[in-house]
Chains A and B, each alone.
Chain A
C-alpha cells in the first residue's frame, strides 16, 4: 500500500539540501525574532553562540556558515532539528515533536516534552520488531484527503547514556562533544516512503501510577495536539489563528490520541514497552477504503 505524498517528500528533500557559504547577519522582513533565531514568511536564520549559522530561503535550500573547529555532528544536529522544523512550517507542513515507529504500514508516534522518553521508547520498540520511522521531529503533510501523512525522518536516534542502558542498544558517536547523549543506529529496516499517522501517544511525566494507556477525549484532544507541535513559535509566526485552528482540528479529528502513564520505577521499563508494543499491534493495519 502506498500513499502519494511524493510532492511533500520531494519538497522536504529539496528544501533541506545544505551547502556551505556566507549567510546574512540579520534576516530582512523577519516577523519573529528570538534568541539566535529569526523567521520571515519565506526565510529562516539560526545563529548559534559558537558562530555556526544556517540560513534558509524557500526555493533556495539551506546555506550553512561553519566556523573552523565545529564538528560535522554539530551541523547535523541543528540541521535535523530547528532548521528542519522551520522548513516544514515554511512549506505548509506541520512538524510534531515526536519519535515514531512503523507497524503494518501505519505510523505510531510518541510525543512529550524534551527528556520525556520519546526516543528511548522508540528505540526500545525497534527491539520489539517495529522499524523506526522518525526521531524527535515528525513532519506531517495535511494536504492529502485520505490520511494524515507522515514523512519518514532521521534514522539516527539520539539517546542519553542512561537510555542506552535501558534499551540495550549500542552507542555510536556522541551528539555533542562532552555530552552524555549518543547517536544510535536502530537495527531494523528503513522506510523511505510517507505513511499514514494513525496514533499519537503522549508521554506524561512518570508517576507512582501503574502503567496505563488511556484515550484522550473531547477538547483535551485539541490542546494536546497543539502541545505536540515542534517549534510552535515558528508556526504561530506564520499562521493566522484560523489556519492554526484548522490544522489542529485536522490532526485532532483524524488521529487516535492516548496518554501513556509510566511508573517511575525503571525496573518496570521493559513491561511498559511490552504494553505499548501490544497496543500498537492491536491497532491493526491501515485499511484503505476506496469507492469502486
Chain B
C-alpha cells in the first residue's frame, strides 16, 4: 500500500521547519529534521517498507530501529489525518 499525503493539507517552509495546515479542520502541525525527511519521502510512490529502507541507508542505522521510529511517526501523522494509504 502506497503512502500519500492527503489532498487537504497545505504546507509552507519556515527556516528548517515545515508548517502543515489541514484546511478541512483548521489544525496546524509542524515537522522538522527526521519527521520532515520522512514526510518528503511520502509522495504516493512508496510504501512504509521502502521509506524505512531509504532512511536506514541514508542515516546508516539498523533497519530494525529505523522501522520502529518510522512506524511510530507514520502512525502519528496517520492518526492526525495527514496521510492515507492507497
Contacts and interface: CB of A to CB of B under 8 A. Distances in A.
Interface residues of A, number: 14
A50 interface: no
A219 interface: yes
A249 B21 CA distance: 11
B40 interface: no
Contacts of A218: 14-17, 30, 32
Q: SS class of chain A's interface: helix, strand, loop or mixed?
A: helix
Contacts of A241: 21-26
Nearest to B18: A219
B24 A219 contact: no
B62 interface: no
A222 B25 contact: no
Interface string A236-253: 000011101100010011
Given A222-B19, A222-B28, A242 B14 contact: no
A217 B17 CA distance: 9
A241 B27 CA distance: 8
Nearest to A243: B23
Contacts of A253: 12, 14
A242 B17 contact: no
A223 B14 CA distance: 11
A217 B23 contact: no
A244 B25 CA distance: 12
Interface of A: 217-219, 221-223, 240-242, 244-245, 249, 252-253
29 contacts: A217-B14, A217-B15, A218-B14, A218-B15, A218-B17, A218-B30, A218-B32, A219-B14, A219-B17, A219-B18, A219-B19, A219-B30, A221-B14, A222-B12, A222-B19, A222-B30, A241-B22, A241-B23, A241-B24, A241-B25, A242-B23, A244-B21, A244-B26, A245-B10, A245-B21, A249-B12, A249-B19, A252-B14, A253-B14
Given A241-B25, A253-B14, 10 more contacts: A218-B16, A218-B30, A219-B17, A222-B28, A240-B23, A241-B23, A241-B26, A245-B12, A245-B21, A249-B12
